[in-house]
Structure 1
């Protein structure tokens, strides 16, 4: 089944960019003429209630500036293969229509919502005098580089370990479609399909579908959500379901890592409504959730040659199953404004940071429905605070959840994580980032460990560490410098960084120990393709500083866009959280 999905995804990725919309060819190099720009008309300093006589959308490809002669082939190739974002897709994110009064706040919010889309580099909305008492709005966007080509290479044979192929703006439709493969060595190869549409249902809705065959399990997820993009929205809603079957491994110091198979099913449907004025409001809603989880009692080893029995005498942890249906109350309080900045999470690209405070709360109580016999209360809280401006900014986000078992009269499955960060940009091309990240788990009902080896939450140079704990604290500092270039192909920069982290044990988390501080220092090569893209490509060269016997010099390649959301849980924290907490609904982009 997964092989058929992968073939279908590949065919879709090849065919869709050449389809037509409303009888017109939408290829970047096709005969369709772009809208006429308003350059030369009298610009308007701002919207002040003038009627909107027309809205013109101008979409630009990734490389708009001419490149040096020896690199001009790059620009031509991209323009031939790239499909600009369609006009009707851009219009779905606008909060204004022809005939309505021009409102400055709605104009700024529309511009910000467009900038928040991962398939765009930047967006601007300008107002021009139409010489008839009204205004003509010009919406100009520039696409990000949409081709996805990510080979996974290794030094020993075979050199090619895996591959991800796709397009992040398929046919200019704001749709990401990709297929991936990874060599399973002694197990099944990993095969997966991922589809994400950011303008689903001809509106500002998001659709996500992911299907993955793992080494000897699977991961299936489906989600349709209308995030709370702007205070002008009245409603936001979510519907999701999915299921996973996967092994969770434990780090046990000198013993080889063992694994337990975890099976989970989840479903969620909910909505919130806005009360209050723009900028200061409350969100009130409800959701119905279902969660089923079970962990095998048999422990085994995942070796390079396949599955082996665990013959060590170490105790095997046990976890209680869960089968629960809950009715949840959703509450949110928000007093937020947005400030446009450059060069914070991106190398030089623009992003909008949230200044102010917001708080989200999920409070649920279980119901006895058929086989769902668990009796509990569930509580999750999400706090964000941001202060500063374009030169200096400090942000804090903390996410905590826990479950109260009404039979045992005790709290369990307590998971907490967060990030505190300070950005300082004293001059163009220079950025200092100082941050701390923390994570913790206690009395877990699913296999759970934290380590400094985690790719997102750990410390560079310690990817092979065998030590684990229940709480983790990591400090990071980075100084970035953008190098001027006239090539117009990419923005380039360098960075120096230092990291330090440690773990603490808890008797409720298996095999956990308390460690001394571990550290790493290094340098990075940074790039953004095309220029001003918010996706940051980097190569990190890290030298570990610690007594961990598994420390090693590390060269890490990565590509990530962190400009949309201030904080995302690391992978080893996500596995411990309830799958039905509406994180997508309360993303607050």
Structure 2
């Protein structure tokens, strides 16, 4: 470094310490530089999260966090003329804003610690996972010497959502009445009570979900459901691996339920059995933390599951009555997560920050169910999943995932309960508001219990056909979409998108007739997409008009289907 350059930097440092005037200390191409500030100025109410989450900042090594500022933005921006009206500002005043200590419980860093950009990025992802935030970001705002100040910016959602929801797919209707508070008293707790009529059952449900029990990293979740075909009760508590660098975890859950399992033929109910399930799961996990960009986790525990079946007394049971099964086994598991992430928007959501995991993720569990521990037979238990990104660029994203489950019955020397599924998703962005999407999914099963089916219809990908129009023990489906993410923002509450689509697929079995000659189904159509920009959910409402291209002469196939349902993505 030249003597003149060194002198200039020393003068800037002296000026920063003595006068506390804004001064540029570090600058690199495409990187935002920050400087000493006389007083902290919070981000404005109109803060643009999509831009803020993509900024990079230059902070020197061995810098210490001197202060953390929490900036909580209101649901509606008073600086936006479209939101500065008495209704929206009244909503801001009535809403209980997320408490500062609730936000602090999520942070992976603290004052006095060394600055770590990776921890800030992961904290931002954790905050955006909370349903009570529209968006969130974490950024350094001032560097003076060896000190850096951090700002955490969040925008609340309207978390209390009493309402009525309606769902129609495959010619069948579902509805629900619910009261849902996703941020009870600003503490991040979820309370929900609902009355639901689905295509499978009518039920009354209660759910409580606490991700920071008593201000700790421990979680508690429990639910009760009473339905016209039985009941369901569960409780789940534990300490998750809440970050990639977490070292310990534990989990305990109980499940007790009695429901009716129904089998279908050409979309009609033909068989059913009463299914009683009792299960317990306990697990402890250890990790060496994040090393060389990889987090490795080692887990062991115990799983108990008792499934029993009885005649429901309504429809006849399957010709082959399902086998009761009791599993009691210890297990070991291994998990690998690669620390490789990016952010995007207008992929699965509309104008909202989306966190994309681009790295590998592997989870595999191996157990041994023994008669000595109470199992009905000796079995090896294998299950796991793997996902990765095949390609990522500014304009394309291609991901895939594989799931597997299988039992090896040692007594009979044969496989049981085999299920393998594969999914691949490809996004091609043509502009910020226009993209194409391709999804392929394949499922293969073998020697499953007779109360289970693989189905295809309006509910899971063939939008112009009845729900469960085809059944079998395997399925393939290809969905093609051309998507439009508009700038329409109805009343600054609802964002609007649209799509044209084509579905091609089939569910079949080489061992039995499925009522449609194992035909390949095809349909095409168009639809609208709606998402609540201020709501405590990232779900997307679909209104689709689908037209069959095959099986048109089948009397149970209508000339078109109108479907309205709510899904987790676009």
Separation in 2, partners of 1:72, 1:513:
57
Question: How far did 1:224 drift?
Answer: 1.9
TM-score normalised by L of structure 2: 0.81
SS where residue 212 of structure 2 aligns? strand
Q: Are residues 153 and 346 of structure 1, via their aligned partners in 2, closer, same or farther at CA, if it must alter by over 3 Å?
A: closer
Alignment deviations for residues 50-103 of structure 1 (CA, whole Å, 9 cap, x no partner): 221211112223322555569834423432442222211111121111111111
Tell me the equivalent position of 2:562.
555
Residue pairs, 1:188-587, within 5 angstroms: 190-253=203-266, 256-275=269-288, 277-297=291-311, 300-301=314-315, 310=316, 316-368=319-371, 371-386=374-389, 387-445=391-449, 447-453=451-457, 455=459, 457-485=460-488, 488-507=492-511, 515-530=518-533, 534-547=538-551, 548-552=554-558, 553-562=560-569
Contact 1:521–1:543 under 8 Å retained in 2: yes
SS at match of 1:356: coil
SS at match of 2:359: strand
Q: Distance in 2 between matches of 1:254 and 1:63?
A: 45
* 1-structure distance, mates of 2:154, 2:415: 50
188, 193, 199: which one pairs with 1:179? 193
Shift of 1:183: 5.5
**Quick check: 1:118 aligned with 2:131?**
yes
1:220-253, Cα deviation, whole Å (9 max, x unpaired): 1211244434321112332111011111111134
SS at 1:111's partner residue?
A: helix
> Secondary structure, in 3 states, of the residue corresponding to 2:507?
strand
Rounded to whole Å, the distance in 2 between the matches of 1:346 and 1:178 is 24
| 3-state secondary structure, aligned to 1:451 | strand
8 Å CA contact 1:325, 1:369 repeated in 2: no
Residue 454 of structure 2 aligns to a residue in which SS? coil
Moved more, 188-197 or 436-445: 188-197
Q: 1:78 to 1:374 in 2, by over 3 A?
A: farther
**Would the aligned equivalents of 2:76 and 2:83 in 1 still touch at CA under 8 Å?**
no
Structure 2 segments unaligned to the other structure (5+ residues): 1-38, 45-55
Task: Report SS of the residue matched to 1:447.
Answer: coil
> Shift in Å at residue 184 of structure 1?
9.2
Q: Deviations over 1:357-394 (max 9, x none)?
A: 22211000013456444311100121111131442111
Write the distance in 1 (CA, Å) between the matches of 2:355 and 2:82: 35
The CA deviation at 1:322 is 1.2
The 1:332–1:444 alpha-carbon spacing in structure 2 relative to 1, beyond 3 Å, is same
Q: Which residue of 2 aligns with 1:8?
A: none
For the residue of structure 2 that corresponds to 1:398, the secondary structure is: strand
Distance change (3 Å), C-alpha of 1:272 and 1:531: same
> What CA deviation, in whole Å up to 9, does each residue of 1:156-207 have, x standing for no partner?
xxx995412212222222222111113599x995211012223234234443
Aligned-pair RMSD on alpha carbons?
3.2
Cα 1:71–1:122 shift into 2, 3 Å = closer
Is 514-523 or 359-368 further displaced after alignment? Answer: 514-523
Q: Give distance in 2, aligned partners of 1:396 and 1:99.
A: 41
Question: Is 2:253–2:282's contact at 8 Å kept on the other side of the alignment?
Answer: yes
2:344–2:353: 8 Å Cα contact kept in structure 1?
Answer: yes
Secondary structure, counterpart of 2:62 in structure 1: strand
1:61 to 53, 56, 74: 74
* Structure whose alpha-carbon radius of gyration is higher: 2
3-state SS, counterpart of residue 528 of structure 2: strand
Q: 1:464 to 1:103 in 2, by over 3 A?
A: closer
Once residues 38 and 355 of structure 1 are traced to their aligned partners in structure 2, the CA distance between those partners, rounded to angstroms, is: 32
Rounded Cα–Cα distance in structure 2 between residues aligned with 1:70 and 1:184: 36
Q: Is the 8 A contact 1:327 1:367 kept in 2?
A: no
Q: Residues 419, 180 of structure 1: CA spacing in aligned structure 2 closer, same or farther, 3 A cutoff?
A: same
Contact 1:505 1:514 (C-alpha < 8 Å) held by counterparts: no
TM-score, with length taken from structure 1: 0.79
Closer, same or farther in 2 for the Cα pair 1:448/1:328, shift >3 Å?
same
Q: CA deviation at 1:504?
A: 1.8
Distance in 2 between the 1:357 and 1:514 partners?
Answer: 40
Q: Report the Cα distance in structure 1 between the residues aligned to 2:89 and 2:405, rounded to whole angstroms.
A: 51
Q: Per the alignment, do residues 71 and 154 of structure 1 end up closer, same or farther by CA in structure 2, a change over 3 Å counting?
A: farther
Q: How many residues align?
A: 510
Structure 1 residue 256: Cα displacement: 4.9
Q: Unaligned regions of 5+ residues in structure 1, if any?
A: 1-34, 302-309, 564-589
Which of 550-559 and 428-437 deviates more?
550-559
Are positions 1:109 and 2:112 aligned together?
no
Report the equivalent of 1:28. Answer: none
> Are 2:58 and 1:45 aligned?
yes
